[in-house]
């Protein structure tokens, strides 16, 4: 069934001729191609709007030259009075700089009256409403992620630290046969605390428009530590890293980024997997390639494996690892992708900004 689209439009225009023109355009046959019905409420200033603040509108058409104010001051006043409703500015001037500034101050669109016709006007109305709804949905999701982040920080993470502390206490006081159970509590607590910290980092990266604080990281040290973690999981895996002193722009979670990639290669490539790591620098970018001789990744899965919750059929993990890697690399201003390896398995390419002094 096709969705019925109805728009309640508030027209704020003090010029009777311009008001009749807008109403005429909105009643033209072209409008029916985009919306089913348009209801127009016309006022000549913002004062009546302020007096009936409870009225609901889908979109506002606002003339900038009103009796009580002119120019962008009119827009500022309107955004205060009609909070949360998309505003389309109508003006008799062809002023590109003012148009840009109006958008920066919250207007959804800026339409010169001389260029108005029914088709253009109703398109602007509909797109403004759609964009506004999308923005509200994104804000709701951001608010929800902030809430989940606070739960992770104040409830789950604090709780896991208490459990871990009690486990350590039991580990020190129980006899040898029972101590193994306490050690398992401590180990699982460490794993869950680490996972919780990673989830919090992703939430902060997604919701914080300014991004995380970044610094210069010595790439070779990060790769060496990640390789040691892979060897600790499998004594038979072989890791070779080309020695090149390179500094990249990232943060402390870069260790977990490469740690996840190395462990992923061991998990899917087997105990005796060979991992060959090469680094290239060009045009302000550092590209790290982790190539292995495992089973490889089908080309149809090359992008999907970085999506949230995706994991291989043989994996016992949460599907969070590569999603975390992808999210963090992109937060650094980099990129990540996977191709076939010359060794016969998979080759993960990580592109990071080169830190220059």
The domain that contains 303 carries what CATH number? 3.30.565.10
308 with 240, same domain: the answer is yes
CA distance 200 to 68: 49
Q: Residue 158 above 50 pLDDT?
A: yes
163 with 199, same domain: the answer is yes
The stretch 351-355 carries a mean pLDDT of: 90
Place 184 in a pLDDT band, splitting at 50, 70 and 90: confident
158 with 272, same domain: the answer is no
Residue in 124, 116, 93 with CA at minimum distance from that of residue 23 = 116
219 with 288, same domain: the answer is yes
3-state helix vs strand vs coil in the chain, percent to 5 = 50, 20, 30
Task: Identify whether 32 is part of a domain.
Answer: yes
The stretch 156-171 carries a mean pLDDT of: 82
98 with 169, same domain: the answer is no
Is the Cβ–Cβ distance between 293 and 344 less than 8 Å? yes
315 with 246, same domain: the answer is yes
CATH code, domain carrying 47 = 3.40.50.2300
Task: Identify whether 133 is part of a domain.
Answer: no
Q: Residue 33 above 70 pLDDT?
A: no
288 with 313, same domain: the answer is yes
Task: Identify whether 128 is part of a domain.
Answer: no
Which H or E run contains 291? strand 285-292
Q: Residue 113 above 90 pLDDT?
A: no
* Lowest mean pLDDT segment, chosen from 138-147, 264-273, 294-303, 333-342: 138-147
Say how many Å lie between the first and final Cα of the chain, rounded.
60
Task: Identify whether 123 is part of a domain.
Answer: no
The residue with greater pLDDT, 210 or 108, is 108
| pLDDT of the residue at 144 | 64
Percent of the chain scoring above 70 in pLDDT: 81
Task: Identify whether 121 is part of a domain.
Answer: no
225 with 341, same domain: the answer is yes
Residue with tokens 């460490």: 190
19 with 103, same domain: the answer is yes
Q: What is the mean pLDDT of the chain?
A: 79
Q: Residue 211 above 70 pLDDT?
A: no
| pLDDT of the residue at 223 | 94
Three-class DSSP labels, 27-88: CCHHHHHCCCEEEEEEECCCHHHHHCCCCCCCEEEEECCECCECCHHHHHHHHHHCCCCCEE
Q: What is the pLDDT of residues 215-268, one digit of tens each?
A: 889 999 999 998 988 888 777 888 999 877 889 988 888 988 898 899 888 887
The residue with greater pLDDT, 81 or 337, is 337
Residue in 208, 223, 213, 192 with CA at minimum distance from that of residue 320 = 192
Helix, strand or coil for residue 132?
A: helix
Domain end position, chosen among 191, 208, 225: 208
| pLDDT of the residue at 213 | 64
39 with 17, same domain: the answer is yes
Number of separate domains in the chain:
3
Task: Identify whether 265 is part of a domain.
Answer: yes
96-100, 182-186, 316-320, range with greatest mean pLDDT: 182-186
221 with 103, same domain: the answer is no
The residue with greater pLDDT, 153 or 236, is 236
Q: Residue 351 above 90 pLDDT?
A: yes
Whether the model clears a pTM of 0.75, i.e. scores above it, the answer is no
Which H or E run contains 276? strand 274-282
184 with 200, same domain: the answer is yes
Task: Identify whether 19 is part of a domain.
Answer: yes
Residue in 188, 187, 182 with CA at minimum distance from that of residue 169 = 182
Domain that holds residue 152: 143-208
Q: Residue 209 above 60 pLDDT?
A: no
Residue in 270, 290, 269 with CA at minimum distance from that of residue 280 = 290
354 secondary structure, DSSP code: B
Output the DSSP codes for 136-160. Answer: HHHHHHHHHHHHHHHHIIIIIIHHH
CA distance 287 to 279: 6
Place 347 in a pLDDT band, splitting at 50, 70 and 90: very high
Task: Identify whether 285 is part of a domain.
Answer: yes
CA distance 65 to 72: 9
């Amino acid at each position: 069934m096709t969705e019925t689209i109805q728009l309640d439009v508030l027209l704020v225009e003090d010029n009777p001729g311009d008001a009749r023109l807008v109403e005429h355009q909105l009643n033209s046959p072209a409008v029916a191609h985009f919306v089913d019905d348009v209801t127009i409420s016309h006022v000549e200033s913002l004062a009546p709007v302020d007096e009936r603040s409870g009225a609901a509108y889908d979109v506002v058409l606002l003339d900038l030259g009103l009796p009580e104010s002119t120019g962008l001051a009119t827009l500022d006043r309107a955004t205060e009075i009609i909070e949360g409703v998309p505003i389309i500015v109508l003006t008799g001037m062809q002023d590109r700089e003012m148009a840009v500034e109006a958008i920066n101050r919250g207007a959804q669109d800026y339409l010169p009256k001389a260029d108005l016709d029914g088709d253009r006007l109703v398109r602007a109305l509909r797109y403004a409403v759609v964009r506004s709804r999308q923005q509200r949905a994104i804000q709701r999701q951001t608010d929800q992620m902030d809430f989940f982040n606070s739960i992770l920080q104040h409830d789950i993470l604090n709780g896991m630290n208490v459990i871990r502390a009690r486990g350590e206490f039991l580990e020190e006081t129980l006899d040898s046969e029972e101590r193994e159970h306490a050690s398992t509590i401590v180990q699982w607590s460490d794993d869950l605390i680490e996972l919780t910290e990673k989830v919090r980092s992703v939430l902060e990266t997604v919701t914080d428009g300014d991004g995380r604080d970044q610094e210069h990281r010595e790439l070779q040290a990060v790769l060496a530590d990640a390789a040691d973690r892979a060897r600790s999981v499998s004594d038979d895996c072989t890791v070779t890293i080309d020695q090149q002193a390179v500094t990249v722009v990232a943060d402390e979670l870069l260790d977990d980024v490469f740690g996840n990639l190395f462990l992923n290669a061991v998990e899917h490539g087997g105990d005796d997997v060979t991992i060959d790591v090469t680094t290239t620098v060009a045009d302000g970018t550092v590209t790290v390639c982790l190539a292995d001789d495992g089973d490889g990744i089908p080309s149809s899965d090359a992008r999907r494996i970085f999506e949230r919750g995706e994991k291989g059929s043989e994996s016992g993990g949460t599907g969070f690892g590569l999603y975390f890697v992808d999210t963090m690399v992109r937060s650094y201003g980099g990129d990540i992708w996977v191709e076939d390896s010359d060794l016969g398995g998979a080759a993960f390419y990580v592109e990071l900004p080169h830190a220059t002094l």
